[in-house]
Chains A and B, each alone.
Chain A
Amino acid sequence: MASIFQAVGAARALSSSNSFDSKKFYLTSRESVSERKGSIFVVRSDGRMNSGRVDKLVTNAVATKADSAAASTASKPGHELLLFEALREGLEEEMDRDPRVCVMGEDVGHYGGSYKVTKGLAPKYGDLRVLDTPIAENSFTGMAIGAAMTGLRPIVEGMNMGFLLLAFNQISNNCGMLHYTSGGQFTIPVVIRGPGGVGRQLGAEHSQRLESYFQSIPGIQMVACSTPYNAKGLMKAAIRSENPVILFEHVLLYNLKERIPDEEYICNLEEAEMVRPGEHITILTYSRMRYHVMQAAKTLVNKGYDPEVIDIRSLKPFDLHTIGNSVKKTHRVLIVEECMRTGGIGASLTAAISENFHDYLDAPIVCLSSQDVPTPYAGTLEEFTIVQPAQIVTAVEQLCQQ
């Protein structure tokens, strides 16, 4: 029934990779979608067929040149690498570009980083620029903040994001607030990055999702990368930003392979990424759950649904433009996240969408999150705590029934 195409550089605002090495993810062109429209009728509450209120759609006014240019460079060769290598490439390019950029963290120097993101940098730049710190998260994060106030641009690596709970004092009180409390006299251009999320049976303390704890801190930005392309782009953008940025990586995504452009590019910190345009439902996700969603999308497309998948990327602030346009088109929202149910990014996103786009919704917003459970060690239990593709399929089916 539904045919699946692999298209390159199809829709506008396609900033994600267009030639993914893994054939699991397909991008359909808008043309093919409209052909298939007849196969699914989504009747809206006012009796009209799904045609969307196009008059409210605003074309993407803030797409950066860099992002849209990426689509056109897809035809150029580029080079293939893994996500952690993409992070390193971005880091290295920025360190070459600006001598004030430095890295601090545990085992970032001689060991090369526990996930090899900083491998090879210490021999190249020296022990002071790639600083191996003692195990004192609160203090070395504070040290990075002090260094940033006095002119450097440090990148703090948390060996695991969960360890940054120990740095919460410095991140909340100083990182986020000092620019304001000093009346604008000091800027804190730090980047705090590290892997988080649920891995493979790492146990509760190594499987934490700190984005929910940090999201209330005023004065910081949070972004989550999910592909080698956006990992490098976001890393570079975060380093260049004058604001403190927290970059969330995921333990299980470091070995993703993708072909990225040879030319220099950065991704916009505040923008979301359109992964797969669609008509029936908007699925908002980020980080690893993007892949669960895309896996579910395969099944959904087979069943005749047309989900629009957006990787929100910017966890704070939300890109309400991209999200809003999508909601105005599809009128149904499903949020799929790895945060806990209570107080997670999904909870905030639900509130933000309800507040801003309530009139455009045909159904309540459904948010699929992890269970409010400390991640168990046992593999079977661990699987039950996070959202699996089958649940996503079921949720979409239920939402589209309404």
Chain B
Amino acid sequence: MSSAFSAINTVQRPPHASVSQENPSVSPLRSSLPFLGSNHKLRPNSLHKNGASIRRQSSIVAVSDVVKEKKTKSSSSLPNLLITKQEGLVLYEDMILGRAFEDMCAQMYYRGKMFGFVHLYNGQEAVSTGFIKQLKKEDCVVSTYRDHVHALSKGVPARAVMSELFGKTTGCCRGQGGSMHMFSGEHNVLGGFAFIGEGIPVATGAAFTSKYKREVLKEADCDHVTMAFFGDGTANNGQFFECLNMAALWKLPIIFVVENNMWAIGMSHLRATSDPQIYKKGPAFGMPGVHVDGMDVLKVREVAQEAVARARRGDGPTLVECETYRFRGHSLADPDELRDPAEKAHYATRDPITALKKYMIENNLVEEAELKAIEKKIDEVVEEAVEFAEASPVPVRSQLLENVFADPKGFGIAPDGRYRCEDPKFTEGTAHV
């Protein structure tokens, strides 16, 4: 089978590769409205083109190509459908969970249950669901501060995430991480990082481990992939480029997912970037660069499947740029006055959840009642998570010094000759370090 990605070797930079243009017969989720941004005058000309023919470049893929290939191989009795009912329900439930959870977070924040910086993911659910649902438990996910939904999609229980946000000891990080540092050893969520770009090298390292296990430790079946999620602002950061280089150099099994929601707090992507088309930066390092409509979970899913398969085969990394949008401000502290209301309204019509619902109902995959049942179930899950978090205890003083070192001998030797960690006051947390 020839995959759209497999023919990439060259660094040939395509002139004006068009962004994903939907072929109406394939995807009913298209939108014919142009991208509106408050800086639309600054947009490069190529993005204005509507209805232009798709120019196929070896390294830049229009997603409809991938979808077409799959279609021809499909043996389903409904050749036009992209998903089965089961798959659709899984996607829907995950996106509803993400949305409901984030909405609850906003409520809880304004009620004074959680503090600090909380960055919500509303509107971007298609990216998280589309990508992370392609992963196994052993695969790793690395994210940024907008990480609640990545953790949820990967399988971290909602109650663990909510507890963490409330700062309780039953949180996934024992209350020590908070909103921006969601970690899970069990589900291989490697964080949650506050500084942008910081997680990308960590993700590269996790991918390196996968390759090392296969080639040095001779675990021949180790095909774990890592996904690194980050935003458009990060794509201007040095760590991004350094890791693109290393990942391509050593053909690491990693997928770099750019969640381009066009805004880095109040900095428009177009004002910050000399060449705003981030996916074009992949071929410069020798990996395929793909642009996909991040408000369409089905398209994202197709791209993700291909990228994951590529990584598992050992063909190396992929850079995927998802055009998406956050419905809320950058964080709950952001008044969000800078973005054009017309832009927000436009993207509200492209809500990924509504779109998937519409697709599934129109194609008779589900009844409305089934979807309602899922929404109710998720509401209960989120409610239960809040109750659990409320009821959980806050960390006690003895927890303060507990995880500073994996080996607590690192606190040193006290004047009396014993290791500090052996001092009973120390384990109570009342010793002075």
Q: Of B205, B213, B242, B413, which is within 8 A of A146 by CB?
A: B205
With a CB–CB cut-off of 8 A, which chain B residues contact A129? 212, 216
Segment with Cβ contacts to B, from A4-12, A18-26, A318-326? A318-326
Q: Of B171, B185, B207, B211, which is within 8 A of A186 by CB?
A: B185
* Chain A 296-317 near chain B by CB (<8 Å), digits 1 or 0: 0000000000000000001001
Check B412–A320 contact: CB distance below 8 A.
yes
CA distance A129 to B242 in the complex (A): 20
196-234 of chain B: CB within 8 A of chain A: 198, 200-213, 215-217
Tell whether B146 is near chain A: CB-to-CB under 8 Å: no
Taking the closest CB of chain A, its distance from the CB of B401, in whole angstroms, is 10
Check B202–A146 contact: CB distance below 8 A.
yes
Chain B residue nearest to A150 (CB atoms) is B209
Check A128–B216 contact: CB distance below 8 A.
yes
Q: Of B242, B406, B413, which is within 8 A of A189 by CB?
A: B406
Segment with Cβ contacts to A, from B18-26, B87-95, B119-127, B172-180? B172-180
Check B208–A138 contact: CB distance below 8 A.
no
Check B246–A138 contact: CB distance below 8 A.
no
Tell whether B418 is near chain A: CB-to-CB under 8 Å: yes
CA distance A217 to B297 in the complex (A): 42
Tell whether A1 is near chain B: CB-to-CB under 8 Å: no
Known contacts A145-B202, A152-B212; decide if A270 and B409 are in contact (CB<8 Å).
Answer: yes
Check B212–A270 contact: CB distance below 8 A.
no
Check A180–B190 contact: CB distance below 8 A.
no
Known contacts A134-B249, A170-B198, A174-B198; decide if A143 and B415 are in contact (CB<8 Å).
Answer: no
CA distance A148 to B181 in the complex (A): 18
Tell whether B112 is near chain A: CB-to-CB under 8 Å: no
Most A Cβ at <10 Å: residue of B174, B403, B414: B403
Taking the closest CB of chain A, its distance from the CB of B179, in whole angstroms, is 12
Check A143–B208 contact: CB distance below 8 A.
yes
CA distance A179 to B403 in the complex (A): 6
Check B405–A145 contact: CB distance below 8 A.
no
Known contacts A185-B183, A243-B405; decide if A150 and B140 are in contact (CB<8 Å).
Answer: yes
Tell whether B14 is near chain A: CB-to-CB under 8 Å: no
44-78 of chain A: CB within 8 A of chain B: 58-62
CA distance A100 to B204 in the complex (A): 17
Check A58–B202 contact: CB distance below 8 A.
no
Check A242–B201 contact: CB distance below 8 A.
no
Tell whether A274 is near chain B: CB-to-CB under 8 Å: no
Chain A residue nearest to B209 (CB atoms) is A150
Chain A residue nearest to B420 (CB atoms) is A317
Taking the closest CB of chain A, its distance from the CB of B30, in whole angstroms, is 38
Q: Of B181, B242, B246, which is within 8 A of A182 by CB?
A: B181
Check B246–A134 contact: CB distance below 8 A.
yes
Q: Of A62, A139, A147, which is within 8 A of B243 by CB?
A: A139
228-262 of chain B: CB within 8 A of chain A: 238-239, 242-243, 245-246, 249
Chain B residue nearest to A190 (CB atoms) is B205
With a CB–CB cut-off of 8 A, which chain B residues contact A99? 216-217
Check B201–A143 contact: CB distance below 8 A.
yes
CA distance A98 to B410 in the complex (A): 22
With a CB–CB cut-off of 8 A, which chain B residues contact A380? none
Check B171–A147 contact: CB distance below 8 A.
no
332-362 of chain A: CB within 8 A of chain B: 356-357
Chain B residue nearest to A133 (CB atoms) is B246
Tell whether A123 is near chain B: CB-to-CB under 8 Å: no
With a CB–CB cut-off of 8 A, which chain A residues contact B204? 139, 142-143, 146
With a CB–CB cut-off of 8 A, which chain A residues contact B35? none
* Chain B 95-109 near chain A by CB (<8 Å), digits 1 or 0: 000000000000000
Tell whether A385 is near chain B: CB-to-CB under 8 Å: no
Check A147–B419 contact: CB distance below 8 A.
no
Check A181–B209 contact: CB distance below 8 A.
no
Check B245–A145 contact: CB distance below 8 A.
no
* Chain A 177-201 near chain B by CB (<8 Å), digits 1 or 0: 0111111111111000000000000
Tell whether A173 is near chain B: CB-to-CB under 8 Å: yes
Tell whether B110 is near chain A: CB-to-CB under 8 Å: no
Check A147–B415 contact: CB distance below 8 A.
no
Provide a sorted-by-A list of 7 A–B residue pairs whose CB atoms are within 8 angstroms. Answer: A134-B245, A134-B249, A139-B238, A143-B208, A148-B205, A183-B176, A241-B407
Chain B contacts to A: CB under 8 angstroms? 140, 142, 171-177, 181, 183-185, 190-195, 198, 200-213, 215-217, 238-239, 242-243, 245-246, 249, 402-407, 409-420
